[in-house]
Chain A
Amino acid sequence: MAQRQAEMRQFNTVRWTIYILVALVVVLPYVLRLPLPLKFTPSRDVRKLYDRMDSLKPGSHVLLSLDYDAASQAELQPMSRALLEHCFKKGLIPIVMTHWQSGLGLDKQVIDEVANKAKEALGKEVKSGRDYVFLGFKPGYSNLVLNMGENLKGAFDKDYFGQSTGDMPALQGVTSLKDIDMGVDLAAGSDVGMWIAYGSDRFNFPLGAGTTAVQAPDMTPFLDSKQLVGLLGGLRGAADYETLLDMPDGGTTGMLAQSSTHVLVILLIVAANARLLLGRSARKRE
């Protein structure tokens, strides 16, 4: 029993040391605003999504389904930002919506941020109803997507701000999902599969996706079968997209913290194994 307690105490000491090291390594790059000394190459899947978006003509409609909440904000919000920036830079019309009511505030926040930034960076004011549409949230999930596929303005007769979608200039020429030029789903859950089954496959529009790093490997079959035109995976995906846009933001600044943390974990693993091997050698010698 005493030995067990001693083991637990040692275990807790090691744990807390690791926690403090991780905290320092994550926080310091942000606090000290260390510049990223590294260049990196965007991945193939991110590049595919970027190229597809970049090939759209000004005035094309891009549906952005921001299906995440605060828990996944750290990875997916930078992606939303980057995609919206791309839309405004190219004169595309983003149609933003969400299936997650808990993420509505975050969606509005990111739209406001990017709209203000577009005004400063691009010198043009972006206005709801004219340059973008924020439809907000509606329940229904796959049924909502099916309704949008038949009649988008019927599914959302008003946008988030209460403006009628019927006459909205930004939605001119768009009656249903068949009329949109591209869709991107940023999902913390299983929404990508739903968008493929009920959206892009049925109504024939190209679909890209952004997911958390944990879920990104699950999207590989959809990429292989070309049901997804591209994929942003985790914070690295957001950083890659920002690099292609030449607009470094949250994703890029997070890369130093992420790199440092990964290196720290690798060093910890190496240290643990070195200790194990040394212990074995010592026992063998004895």
Chain B
Amino acid sequence: MFLKRLTIPLIIVFVLGLLAFVQDYVPHPLAGEFREEMTSWSRIIGGFALFLGAYSLLHMHVTRIRRKTAGWGYSVFVFIGAAFMIVVGLHNEGLGPLQDIEGGTTWFDWGYDNIVVPCGGTIFSILAFFMASAAFRTFRARNLGAALLLIAAVIVMFGRVPISETVGQWVFGSSAVFPKLTDAIMDYPNLAAKRGIMLGISLGAISQSMRILFGIERSYLGGD
């Protein structure tokens, strides 16, 4: 029998998918062992895939440097940063990469704590600026729906900060007005809408999983 390119992957998907589905209903320790085994295998496969990813990354940047495409200087930094972390990680204060240094700080830790962590925090902090500009651009009362969204957003934003209690006290004689209004919006219409979306997503996920399990959906395998 001539096996098509996708036959074996589809069989693997079907068998393992079905077993994963069934194990959720089986409390026997064998089901737990199966789950742990599959988790281990997926970690192992992920480990091998890391090499593919690293090659892809480095190849892309080498090509950019060679062709001197726009922004090729940043690609040089990729290699400088990678080389620094690899060298200090392997050196590990002269003890080699397999030794654990308890309590001390190595150059690798320094690189992580003083470069990677602050850079990550910096990128995350850009969110504050982007939220302000997105809010300015988007919250316009163009129609009824947009107006309702705008009013709800303003109430929730205001109710979440302490100044709302002071303003509430001045205007309404009660500091709890805005926080309570905020809680009401979050607990009722917001939660209801969120639950509706969650229900739809859950059903969609079941349907999608079925399509994948039974081989109806095959695009993720690279074509029909």
Contacts and interface: CB of A to CB of B under 8 A. Distances in A.
A161 B102 contact: yes
A71 interface: yes
Contact of A14 (B136, B161, B162): B136
Interface stretch (B44-52, B70-78, B89-97, B118-126): B118-126
Contacts of A22: 128-129, 132
Contacts, number: 113
> B-side binding surface: helix, strand, loop or mixed?
helix
B135 A273 contact: no
B12 interface: no
Interface string A242-286: 000000000000010011011111101100110011000000000
Interface in A15-71: 15, 18-19, 21-23, 26, 36, 38-41, 43, 69-71
Contacts of A172: none
B142 to A, nearest CB: 8
B162 A38 contact: yes
Contact of B160 (A21, A26, A262): A262
B103 A217 contact: no
| Size class of the contact patch on chain B | 35 or more
Contacts of A102: 112, 117
Among B132, B141, B154: residue with most chain A CB under 10 A: B132
B141 A273 contact: yes
B161 A255 contact: yes
Contact of A261 (B118, B132, B133): B132
Nearest to A240: B162
Nearest to B32: A146
Contact of A268 (B36, B136, B158, B175): B136
B23 interface: no
Given A70-B121, A73-B121, A265 B165 contact: no
Contacts of B120: 69-71
A70 B176 CA distance: 34
A116 interface: no
B113 interface: yes
Contact of B162 (A23, A213, A259, A269): A259
Contacts of B117: 69-70, 102, 105
Q: Which of A69, A71, A161, A269 has the most CB of B within 10 A?
A: A269
Contacts of A164: none
B131 interface: yes
A19 B129 contact: yes
Given A18-B133, A220-B187, A236-B160, A272 B128 contact: no
Contacts of A18: 129, 132-133, 136
Interface string A228-241: 00000010100100
B163 A38 contact: yes
B157 A259 contact: no
Nearest to B36: A143
A103 B4 CA distance: 47
A162 B142 CA distance: 62
A39 to B, nearest CB: 7
Given A143-B36, A220-B191, A268-B135, A26 B162 contact: no
9 residue pairs, one from A and one from B, having the closest CB atoms: A40-B162, A259-B161, A70-B117, A38-B162, A71-B124, A259-B163, A268-B136, A19-B129, A269-B139
Given A18-B136, A74-B121, A273-B150, 10 more contacts: A23-B129, A38-B163, A41-B179, A69-B120, A71-B121, A73-B121, A105-B117, A217-B186, A217-B194, A276-B141
